[in-house]
């Protein structure tokens, strides 16, 4: 038996409860290469993790939380403290999916030893199963160093948001033959270094398919190709929480409008003194 946490929705408190050891594992995800598509979604809170977990194979605590949760202009300012706090919440709220946590910008690029210290901290403080880092051939040595010391790694090639300043924006990558060849080489290097999963973001469709055929580990597409071994979206994008929808996102809901409507209804009832009613008040028992 393992111990996870169940969120009591009546009190919003996370309570430790025993649960069967049913969580997916890194080897099981690796074995899904070429099989049933892998479902990955982002999660940043315990309650969202609870809702997404039954439908997901892997929950990614992405550094996209910088924009989604904190309103930052990019992922670059995200800190280790942010990633560890949200990673621990997602682990507490899940029992089935593998949980991977993004390593924030500046926590791994200086070298393998620095990366190991950062990754070890993330795994210790969150209970997650894996870390994710961005970069291609330049990061291959670091990936191999981590994997060789028992830390499962998810790679990330193509459009790498932490490098937005160097890339000059969030446009699709691999439009030229030279850039496509470089990204393909990056993907092979990271897979050969031992990454058990590879996120392929914002690349031309044919390149996404080529990468999937070229590497031995499963690929997870986001604006890549339907041929990838799985797909990921930022959950808040999928739920329609923001006005702008990237091309690669399909909206499955329009929660922003629903939330705004609920807030407007509440405000109208408060101002009209229609809320609270007897149903929401405490009276002495007779």
Annotated catalytic residues are 201
How many whole angstroms separate alpha carbon 152 and alpha carbon 131? 7
Is 117 marked as binding a ligand?
Answer: no
Sign of CA dihedral 48, 50, 55, 56: positive
Question: Which residues lie closer than 8 Å to 7 by C-beta, 6 or more apart?
Answer: 13, 14, 15, 46, 47, 50, 92, 93
Query: Which pair of structure tokens corresponds to residue 164?
Result: 């937005």
Query: Contact, 85 vs 101, CB < 8 A?
Result: no
19 is in an annotated binding site: no
Whether residue 8 is annotated as binding a ligand: the answer is no
Q: Is 134 annotated as a binding residue?
A: yes
User: Binding site annotation covers 186?
Assistant: no
Q: How far apart are CA 206 and CA 157, in angstroms?
A: 15
The rounded Cα 196 to chain-centroid distance in angstroms is 15
| Alpha helix ranges (H) inside the chain | 26-30, 46-52, 65-68, 80-92, 112-126, 140-148, 164-167, 177-192, 205-214, 235-238, 255-271
| Binding site as annotated, residues for Mg(2+) | 63, 102, 134
| Binding site as annotated, residues for 3-methyl-2-oxobutanoate | 63-64, 102, 132
| Binding site as annotated, residues | 63-64, 102, 132, 134
């Amino acid at each position: 038996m393992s111990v996870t946490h169940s969120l009591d929705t009546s009190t919003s408190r996370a309570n430790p409860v025993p649960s069967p050891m049913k969580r997916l594992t890194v080897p099981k995800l690796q074995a899904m290469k070429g099989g049933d598509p892998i479902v990955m979604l982002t999660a940043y809170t315990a309650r969202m993790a609870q809702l997404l977990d039954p439908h997901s194979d892997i929950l990614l605590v992405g550094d996209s939380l910088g924009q989604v949760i904190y309103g930052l202009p990019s992922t670059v300012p995200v800190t280790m403290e942010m990633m560890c706090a949200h990673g621990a919440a997602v682990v507490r709220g899940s029992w089935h999916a593998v949980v991977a946590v993004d390593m924030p910008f500046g926590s791994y690029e200086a070298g393998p030893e620095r990366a190991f210290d950062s990754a070890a901290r993330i795994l210790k403080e969150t209970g997650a199963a894996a870390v994710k880092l961005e970069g291609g051939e330049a990061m291959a040595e670091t990936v191999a160093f981590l994997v060789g010391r028992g830390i499962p790694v998810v790679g990330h090639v193509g459009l790498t948001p932490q490098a937005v300043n160097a890339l000059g924006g969030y446009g699709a990558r691999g439009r030229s033959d030279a850039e496509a060849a470089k990204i393909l080489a990056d993907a092979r290097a990271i897979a050969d270094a031992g990454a058990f999963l590879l996120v392929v973001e914002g690349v031309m469709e044919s390149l996404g398919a080529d990468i999937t055929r070229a590497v031995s580990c499963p690929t997870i597409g986001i604006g890549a190709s339907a041929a990838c071994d799985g797909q990921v979206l930022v959950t808040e994008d999928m739920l329609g929480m923001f006005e702008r929808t990237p091309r690669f996102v399909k909206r499955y809901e329009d929660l922003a409008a629903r939330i705004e409507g609920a807030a407007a209804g509440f405000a109208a009832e408060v101002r009209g003194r229609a809320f609270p009613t007897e149903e929401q008040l405490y009276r002495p028992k007779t």
